[in-house]
Every structure is written in structure tokens, then in C-alpha cells.
Chains A and B, each alone.
Chain A
Amino acid sequence: MRAAAADSVMKFDGILDETTSFENLVSLAQPIEANSPEIVAADLSKIQRANSTGIVTWLRFVKQCPFPLKYVNSPKWLVSQFNMINGFFVNGSYVESFQVPFFCPEDESYFVFTMLVGIDIPILDSYTNFIVPNRMLNEKIYEVDIEPELYFSFISQNAKIFREKI
């Protein structure tokens, strides 16, 4: 995994796996910490994939991170982790935006839209019967291609945290 930090943004790309170094993540955070930021954006959208060892390393970093993180452009694999691990949002972290897959039945094409928590997707205690509006792109209608109750459960399960932050 490669990483770059500037001002209040940390960007990552590559693969989050056993080769990801906890020490490298900590050293990346140090120059940002010097500016005493209130919050730092973590953009993992260019991470191609992750395995459990890489995720554990990431979580250990978040636990010890000297500043809170807000996840931006969170890709689908990361949303899956948000939903799988209870208590993912420690140390003041939360999600600002995340990717949602859509599908166009007309030509079976697939597109990922980035949505803002609290704006595109309201913060609710339950997403049962919640309907995500269709989206238009290049004159084609795209329908949401996830089960809202499952995919947005990280929001409903952390609604209190997210309401305080957003």
C-alpha cells in the first residue's frame, strides 16, 4: 500500500494487506499531527482490495491515531468492513461519504456514485423500506444495486455518532 498526506488529507492506494506497515501509517500521521488538525480526511478509494491482516493493521492505526479520521469516498470493500465489524468508528472517526453501486437495466451497465451521509443518505435508525432515488447519467436511468437495510446498516448502527459529527 502507498500513502500520501497533505494538510488534512491522507490518501492511500495499492493493496491493504500483510505488507502494510503499522509503523509507516504512524509516521505518515506525524507531520499532520504537528498542525493539530481537528479532523483528517482518510481517502481509501484507490485501495484496490484488502485482506483481514491489512484491515487489522488499519484498525490498530485508527485506534492509536493522534487525530480523528473522517472517511471520504469510502469504497464498497470498506463499507463492507464498516458493516461487518461492530464498533468500527473509534477515536472520533466517522464517514463523510461513501460509494454506492447502481445498475442500468437498459444496457446492464454498472456505475458507482459517491454519496454524502446526512445529505444524499439521511441518518436513520433503520433503512427498512428506505428507497434510494434513481440517478440519471448520460441519459440513462440507474437503479440502486444494493439492499439499503444491509448496506446502510453502518449508519443506522452508529446513528448517534454520525448525528453528532455531521
Chain B
Amino acid sequence: MKKSLILTHFFEPEWAIVNKINTIAKSSSITPIHCPTTEILEETLSKIQSDSRVLFFSDEGLISYVQSLCKNNYEFHFEIALFIDTKIESVANSVSEIEQVKYLIGKDQNESFGRDLAILIKKFKNSDILDLEKYLSFGADVHRTKIYNSKQKHDSVAEIFDFISGWGDPGYSHPYDDYARKVSEVTDELILNAIFNANPRLKSADRSLEFILSEAECVDVAWGFDGEVFGVSVKDYFGKFNRETVMQYISAQRHFDDVTGNSSAGLGLKLILERTHNLITNVEVERTTEVLALVRFDARNRKFEKRKKSVYYFSVNTKKIS
């Protein structure tokens, strides 16, 4: 296995985050190196062997610097995670052309902050990227279904809606209907994307007509709740969803004319992000795309909406690990 390294350098270092990364890296048998200055960072990078894999953590205060750093065309495999404090849409816009930036992590040290970092580092190290179960705590039941036609799409979204809305006591004013709506809208969008955007045969199909998918075109849906986080994943077997599309769709402003001018101008991905706390794309190039949405259910809608969002884009070339 190629040697993995983790580097950190921040505009505004938060030692709690640096220490968290260090402990997780060490527990994963990866060497963490904190670089307090850009000079030390650049010297460290200049000594890294070409067959290494480097995950560099930084923050949005250094986007311009990161952009210039990436022009060095390092021979080793280089991925960048940025911690962000402002709106994810504007950061996604700034980094959309920096191909090494694959992870935008909301600086929200919530209950799962350490776990999310540990998953990122483990997936980076092992290149084993697929599956919702990585994000749900032990004990969560993961429900799985396959979609081959319009009815199955409708039924699977309805099943998720009923599953969540059923948690509230009838006659009692509870937020679960609202969460059921949010999660079923997210699921619907993910499935639409997998059926119509990923599949070249159906890209320009009339979506109002019933569809039938072959075995190679079928879409896998998985979902589960671990008591804290609700996760849903949708998988297609085309493996073509690229990082630039994710960042561009997240960052773009939607205008009436754009939306009505073509299929939806990325409205679906924006709608997903609006209702999600973590949006994770896993791509095995030319084989599989899996998009996961993780949602925390808070009693207060206000708390739900204040939570920082994170976007992760993992990709591996299954013939040659990239």
C-alpha cells in the first residue's frame, strides 16, 4: 500500500481541530504533520515521495494560497480538505476549479465531528469508499431496495416518508412530518439524479413517462436511522458523477430563467443540500456512483437549519487507485 500522510496548516489554527486530526491520524497509523508556517509546509511537500498519498487539511482563509499551491503539480496524490465557517455555496464557488479540493467541512464541532473526520481519514487511507453503513452507528438497521420502474421509485420514497412520519404520536404536534417531507424530497432527488442524469439512455427522456430500467441500469436505495443521524444513499452503476459538477451545482445561484430553460439547472442538488447536513459523493470511476445524504433530526427546526453543512467527494479508480 502507498504511504499515506496527513498535513495540516491553517490560517486560523484551532488547536482542538488540529489535535483531533492528529489523534485520529495516529490511531489510523498515518503520520500527521502540522506545519505552522507556509515555508514549513512547502518544504515538507517538497520532500514527499512521488508514490505517496497526501491529505492536506486547511481552512477557507487560505483558499487563494491553496490555489497557488496546487499549481505546483506535485507528483504524489494530493487531496485537500477545507474547514469552512461561511456559507458552503460561496466556498464551493471559490474552489470549484481547484480539483484537489474534495472536502468542504463545516466548522461545527457537533456530536459527530470526530466520527466524520475519522471516516474521512479511513476512507482516504483504504480507498474503501462505498456504503451508508460507514456513517451510521452500530445497531442501526439499514433498509435496502432496488428500483427498476416508476412505481418502485414512488413506493420507496413513500416508504421512507411513512417510516419517519410514523414516529410521532397521532394527534400530537410533532416535527416528524416535516422531517419525513425533507428526507423524502432528498431521496426523490437522489433517485431522479441516478435514473435520469446518470443514465445516458434516459438523460433527455420525458420524465413524465413511465420508465423501466434494465439490470445494469437499476438504482439501489439504502436508508437507516441510528438514533442521531438519518442517512439515505442512492447508487447507480455508471460512475460518472464528477467533482466539478457537484461544486458548480452547489455554488450556482438559481434564477427563474435558468431553471425553466432546461431540465432543472442543478436545482435538484441544491434542494438536496438545503435539506441535508452532510452530502457525500462516492465514485468508483466508470463503475458506481453513490450519493449519501445525512440529516440530523433536531427538535427545533431553527437548530436544524443553523447546523453547518459539509460536502465530501470521494473517488477511486478501481483499476488504479487514484
**A interface with B by C-beta (< 8 Å):** 17-21, 48-53, 55-56, 59-60, 63, 76-77, 80, 84-88, 90, 101, 103, 108-111, 145-147, 150
Contacts and interface: CB of A to CB of B under 8 A. Distances in A.
Contact of A110 (B174, B181, B257, B267): B174
Given A76-B178, A110-B178, A59 B184 contact: no
B227 to A, nearest CB: 17
B264 A87 contact: no
Interface stretch (B57-65, B98-106, B216-224, B295-303): B295-303
A151 to B, nearest CB: 9
A110 B299 CA distance: 9
B274 A103 contact: no
B207 interface: yes
Contacts of B306: 147
A20 B208 CA distance: 7
Nearest to A109: B173
Q: Is the interface of B mostly helix, strand, loop or mixed?
A: helix
Q: Which of B173, B208, B264, B306 has the most CB of A within 10 A?
A: B173
A63 B181 CA distance: 27
A18 B192 contact: yes
Contact of B192 (A51, A80, A103, A145): A51
B192 A84 contact: no
B172 interface: yes
Chain B interface size, under 10 / 10 to 19 / 20 to 34 / 35 or more: 20 to 34
Given A19-B208, A21-B208, A103-B300, A84 B271 contact: yes
A49 B184 contact: yes
Interface of B: 161, 172-175, 178, 181, 184-185, 188-189, 192, 207-208, 253-257, 259-260, 263-264, 267-268, 270-271, 274, 299-302, 305-306
A147 B270 contact: no
Q: Which of A17, A63, A76, A109 has the most CB of B within 10 A?
A: A17
Given A77-B181, A145-B301, 5 more contacts: A18-B207, A21-B208, A77-B185, A110-B175, A145-B302
Given A76-B178, A145-B300, A147-B306, A59 B173 contact: no
B207 A53 contact: yes
A52 B178 contact: no
Nearest to B266: A52
A51 B208 CA distance: 13
Contacts of B270: 84
Q: Which of A21, A85, A103, A147 has the most CB of B within 10 A?
A: A85
27 contacts: A48-B161, A49-B188, A51-B185, A51-B192, A52-B189, A52-B192, A52-B264, A52-B268, A53-B192, A53-B264, A60-B260, A76-B178, A77-B181, A84-B267, A84-B271, A85-B255, A86-B256, A87-B255, A90-B256, A101-B301, A110-B173, A110-B178, A111-B173, A145-B300, A146-B305, A147-B306, A150-B305
